[in-house]
Amino acid sequence: PGGGGLALLGLAPGAPSCPHGPALLFVKVGQAKEEGRRFYACSACRDRRDCNFFQWEDEKVSETRLAAREEYNRNHQPFFTHRQNVERYKNFVLLPLAKRRFCQECKQLLLPAEWEKHSDHQFLCDISTAQLKSPSQLLYPLENKKTNAQYLFADRSCQFLLDLIIDLGFRRVLSVGTPRLHEMIQSKASQEEDFRVRSLLLDIDFRYSQFYTEDEFCHYNMFNHYFFGGEAAHETCRKFLYQDNGERVIMVTDPPFGGLVEALASSFKKLMAMWKEPEKEGHNNQEMPMFWIFPYFFESRILEFFPSFSMMDYQVDYDNHALYKHGKTGRRQSPVRIFTNLTPSMIVLPVEEGYRFCAVCQRYVSSGNQHCEACNSCTSKDGRRWKHCVLCKKCVKPSWFHCNNCNCCALQNHTCEKTDAGCFVCGKAGHKRSTCPSLSHT
């Protein structure tokens, strides 16, 4: 409660754990930059209703409370292990179609001996092989925006990403929080003999362990780089990245948009470091190729942590999100983009969807993104044609106008509110708390 903001200090050695792995260390920062008391909170859940873990950094926790916490963490782990789920799957596929059932309430494949336990639950019958190959459609997506936010790629975007990966010559995909891309790759690999692309899914949703082996899926928290399967799962990921001397592998990630960019960037850098670990010649100054799928308004935050990245104009759309769908005009357009460390000119966008190549910028842009001579760049971020403001010395959204009171462009009917308070974190004007540069420095 009260003014000020929170700053992420990251993973601390010996941090306490909740059911989602090691907690992250935060500090409350006042308007005058003074630091408050430090505390640990769940890495994955920003909403206390989803995980209420909280501990002051300097708090002395009693042995009784520690034992109770460990017991709580144990009780909140999945009922079956990954290995047990793999064995259950083998038994499940041997069943005749009439005996294949899936409990919709428990999100679990059921063997006949378990039917009675779930007798008062709703379940699906006659689960086909095709359904087993598409678990993202069998499972209800978890739509908590800040924790899971399983907004699943629409077929259009998923197929585009896979075609792009193949055209760029990649043969292995580290799929971090992209279950639909992973299942499309798995499905094609099982159906087409000459299909050479392979995928490893890292995801916090343990339900996928029912459908994939331990070489195809790792239970993983991308906010604290935590492998729930311990060293064995870590080794699975390491081996996947090491294959072919680390060549022709790309990481594709689609994190929850409500997640902390700092925490995500830290984990992604650790995955990149795993790729660089072996003595590979010529990889010293290289980054593992990566596609980070995220809304365009996080561009400045992502570039703070990955200066080599650039944002592509391609609009990524989702099946189960009312707003994030591909459209032609205005707000109907998805704000989700691809951030990548690959050379922009290599990312060929579909001309039939209105994308074109800008010879000056040396990249594909949307049809409405016109090149600005003053900025010497295609400046639009949202697909609409932006206009150049001479006073601001930059391009702005078409609905914005220059305000002499604020000395910057804003919506025409905005309220001019020049306060002395400025940003809640650092006290300076010109930016909001969520984009405060001092947050990343901490």
Residues 240-268 have pLDDT tens digits of 998 888 889 999 999 988 888 999 999 99
List all residues 6 or more positions away from 195 whose beta carbon is below 8 Å from its beta carbon: 188, 189
Tell whether the torsion through CA atoms of 411, 417, 418 and 419 is positive or negative: negative
Q: How far apart are CA 257 and CA 294, in angstroms?
A: 7
54-77 per-position pLDDT tens digit = 999 999 999 999 999 999 999 999
Q: Within 13 Å of residue 387, how many CA atoms lie on the same side as its CB?
A: 11
- Round to whole Å and give the CA distance between 108 and 102: 6
Which residues are within 8 A (CB) of 258 and not within 5 positions of it... i.e. 6 or more apart? 46, 145, 146, 147, 149
Q: What is the mean pLDDT of residues 139-150?
A: 55
pLDDT reading at 196 higher than 70? yes
Residue 79, Cα to own-chain centre: how many angstroms?
26
State the average pLDDT for the chain.
86
Confidence band of 152 (pLDDT split at 50, 70, 90): confident
Q: How confident is the model at residue 109 (pLDDT cuts 50, 70, 90)?
A: very high
Residue type, 207: R
Q: At residue 377, what are phi and psi to the nearest 5 degrees?
A: -160, 155
Q: Is pLDDT at 330 greater than 70 in this prediction?
A: no
pTM above 0.85, yes or no: yes
362, pLDDT greater than 60: yes
